[in-house]
Structure 1
Amino acid sequence: MQVFPAYNNYHKQSKWLSLYIELKNTSGNFDGKLVVESQSANNNLIYSTQISIFGNTKKAKYLYVYPEASQTLISVKLKDKQDKSIIEKNMRFDVISSDARLVTFIKQVEDAQRPFISNDDGQLYFSTISAEKLPDEWKGYDPVNAIFLGNISLNSISDKKEKALVNWLYNGGTLIVSGGINAQRFDDTFVEKLLPVEISGTQIVDSIKSLNIYKSKMVVSSSRLR
């Protein structure tokens, strides 16, 4: 069992925390449940969902939990029908202020390390997430202020994940789309319906100096985005 807190382990206070869980079965069929325990000095919250894995297969599952503001540790357990723990993992995450801004880049392959270092006094954070690990419910985007959709294959985003992203947008989320020379890839996709413009073609320019007026913060990149 592998557990991946979304957005490079960032968790914003008073927001939902998304956990992407991968399971691999190496024997017979398994029936049981995934349990997440969120313990604090004041509360002991338990989230669970039934899960079945058939034969020698893999399965991925999202769970959404709502930790207390100062909490940085949760426990994820795989239990059988007799409520016996088969696997248990403790996960830590980095809590950021509810006033902070979190910008996430959707990439074909998620960066192992956080892509940017910000000198914005702890109020601006960047993370990446792969198309495969996008949340399947709108609350999975709860801590995010803006999503940057780069040059990825939209075919890798399932209908359920498309719906979650669109619902988040209609509830106030912000989607930034990078077109480039491959802008036509949005044709006949859910993204095309969201765009405020109609893409009729592409044109190469030497520079976009006019965008400098929007630059207000200095950000240092520790890895190159593609």
Structure 2
Amino acid sequence: MDLVRELGLDEKTRLIGFFGTLIDRKRPIRFVEAIHAFCAQHPELTVAGLLFGSPQHCGERLDVEVTARARELGIEKAIHLMGFRSPINRLMCAMDMLLVPAINEPFGRTLIEAMLVGTPVVATNHGGNPEAIVDGETGYLVEPEVPSAFVPPMVKLLKDPSEWQRVSANAQKSALAQYGIRPHTEKIMHIYRELTGRTA
């Protein structure tokens, strides 16, 4: 609700998040286009796309391009550049879902962070994303570079609370089992034991 008030949004607005540096590999422009595709197909649901992250210090200023693309598509009021903010976990909790349009992402840490706090993720079936998400169970994987591909899973999550709860619970359980403190510590200790030739 704090973000809704900060941005002057209607309280029924659903918040769709993008987290990461605004660089080409993470495809922030595709995020804008996915929000546009959703708005065009489902005007009965009000959504806002929130991009958390700063542009790179040199090279293309994708924050400027994001704003220009949103204006070109006529959805400038639905797109919000939030800049770099911390702590990230509270912001992720405030999102109804995360969209991850990135390509060639080796292993997206933001996916795991979102899953750990129970925020459903819709990501491209590319790079390291399939390592973290089981499609239809712990999140959704969609065709890369096709903004409209995000729309069907977005609709499922936003229109069916039981589906949102199911994916949220599955994602959190999976992330805790694989990437929680205990399994992480055990894996690190296993590496140390192998390196030193010691057994458990």
Same-fold call, TM cutoff 0.5:
no
TM-score tier by shorter-chain length is: 0.3 to 0.5
The structure with more strand, counted as a fraction of residues: 1
Q: TM-score, normalised by structure 1?
A: 0.31
Larger of the two Rg values belongs to structure: 1
